[in-house]
Amino acid sequence: MIYELIPNELHKELNDFLNDLERIASQHVEFCPFCDKKEFYLIRSKPTTTYRCKACYKYFTAATNTPFNRLTPFNWLETIFVSRIKNYSYQAIANIFDCSTEKIMRRDHAIINYLKLHYLSLYKWYINKQQTTLNPILIEQHNYIKSKINTLLNTQTPPCLHCNSTETVKIGKRTCYWCKRCRHSFNLLSNTKLNRLPKSELWLSFIDLLIDGQDNTQIEKKLKLTNNTVRRWRAVWREMMINWNCEALSIWCKGH
């Protein structure tokens, strides 16, 4: 099945990776991920099988210390991986599991991270495939980023970052709010690099130009920004794309 879609020289890595996924899905562990010792107690089997090492006393699951940590149910991973190889869109995969697109993207991002750590050739192929042949994926990620920015900049009553109440009002600057319930203020962009990025009215146009493949000089002229600013914005946005699980798009925006 998927072996036919993947170059022969990658079959060994593919096979090993699928075995890893199977082991994680069956939640079987052979050694402690912290100290490599092979003796441990079974602490509980639901919702996630959890063990405790007899030597270092640490708790762990089959996914501890991997990018798949907490991304249950683990048996989704193989289906997501295989579907992506078959060019399914995130939306189509989300429909299979009846969940949000975001959940699928987070898991695909973990798959990419895992491949990068353990199976470099397969990683490169998987990423490039997304970049060159999966245009629909890039379009999907482009739309996703745009809607993310729109929501960030235009939401009226976002849930409070302290108490989750939606009785919030906008105060002062673009993404600062005040919570009527817990009386704290918060900024939707704190902890992100966007917080220090000025001229938010240009963000969407900037993203469009990046994805259109324009180089820094072209963008500089069109948006009347300095060369340094364009360079910094490109780096910040590429990082945000990765944070928002749009790794393929981030690679695309590296510049051509």
**Nearest distance from C-beta of residue 160 to Zn ion, angstroms:** 3
**Nearest distance from C-beta of residue 172 to Zn ion, angstroms:** 17
Nearer CB in complex with Zn ion: 163/236: 163
**Nearest distance from C-beta of residue 53 to Zn ion, angstroms:** 3
- 3-class secondary structure, 52: strand
Nearer CB in complex with Zn ion: 177/203: 177
**Nearest distance from C-beta of residue 38 to Zn ion, angstroms:** 9
Q: How far is CA 132 from CA 69, 84, 104, 114, 177, in A?
A: 30, 13, 21, 21, 41
- 3-class secondary structure, 179: strand
**Nearest distance from C-beta of residue 28 to Zn ion, angstroms:** 17
**Nearest distance from C-beta of residue 113 to Zn ion, angstroms:** 23
Binding site for Zn ion (CB under 5 A): 32, 34-35, 37, 53, 55-56, 160, 162-163, 165, 179, 181-182
**Nearest distance from C-beta of residue 181 to Zn ion, angstroms:** 5
Closest CA to 232 of 201, 208, 256, 210: 210
Q: How far is CA 245 from CA 25, 111, 145, in A?
A: 22, 11, 10
Nearer CB in complex with Zn ion: 38/254: 38
Nearer CB in complex with Zn ion: 67/159: 159
Question: Which residues does residue 168 pair with via DSSP β-bridges, in sequence order?
Answer: 179
Nearer CB in complex with Zn ion: 75/165: 165
Nearer CB in complex with Zn ion: 2/55: 55
Q: What are phi and psi of 63, to 5 degrees?
A: -105, 0
Closest CA to 225 of 249, 250, 202: 202
Q: How far is CA 2 from CA 6, 82, 173, in A?
A: 7, 7, 50
Q: Rounded to an integer, what distance in angstroms lies between the CA atom of residue 85 and that of residue 98? A: 20
Question: How far from chain centre, in Å, is Cα 240?
Answer: 10
- 3-class secondary structure, 51: strand
